[in-house]
Amino acid sequence: MPSPLPVLQPDELAACCSPVTAGVVSDDAAEALARMFKALGDPTRVKLLSMIAAAPGGEACICDMTEPVGLSQPTVSHHMKLLVEAGLATREQRGRWAYYRVAPEVLRALAGALSPIAG
């Protein structure tokens, strides 16, 4: 059984996400990047992040995400748990429902990690 993905803290972003085109990535940075990309390796999770980012106010309730992806609430919750553990989304419990937001700074760091250095 695969181990859960750890949550990245904001102070870990700079260390984990230096551009891969700037030179050799450290072992720790490569592991951190791989964990985040692994979480994005499932089309359902990519779609869920896209839905959240496009939602009014930039947040979405788990109750509104099940039908568009055609999966049960527990399955969508599992996918969202993996995204939260990877640091790609945040979760806020409001009564019975969980609301999610995309972590834009982490996505920018991921994009920057693969972008060539301008020069």
Q: Confirm whether 13 is domain-assigned.
A: no
pLDDT tens digits for range 23-44: 677 888 888 888 899 999 999 9
What average pLDDT does the structure give for the chain? 82
Amino acid at 113: A
| Helix (H) and strand (E) counts in the chain | 6, 3
Which CATH number covers residue 53? 1.10.10.10
pLDDT of residue 1: 45
Domain that includes residue 45, residue range: 25-113
* Percent residues over pLDDT 70 in the chain: 77
pLDDT of residue 14: 52
pLDDT of residue 76: 96
Enter the pTM of the model.
Answer: 0.73
**Beta-ladder partners of 59:** 101
Q: Confirm whether 18 is domain-assigned.
A: no
Cβ–Cβ < 8 Å for 13, 65:
no
pLDDT tens digits for range 50-107: 999 999 999 999 999 999 999 999 999 999 999 999 999 999 999 999 999 999 888 8
Q: Confirm whether 5 is domain-assigned.
A: no
pLDDT of residue 119: 40
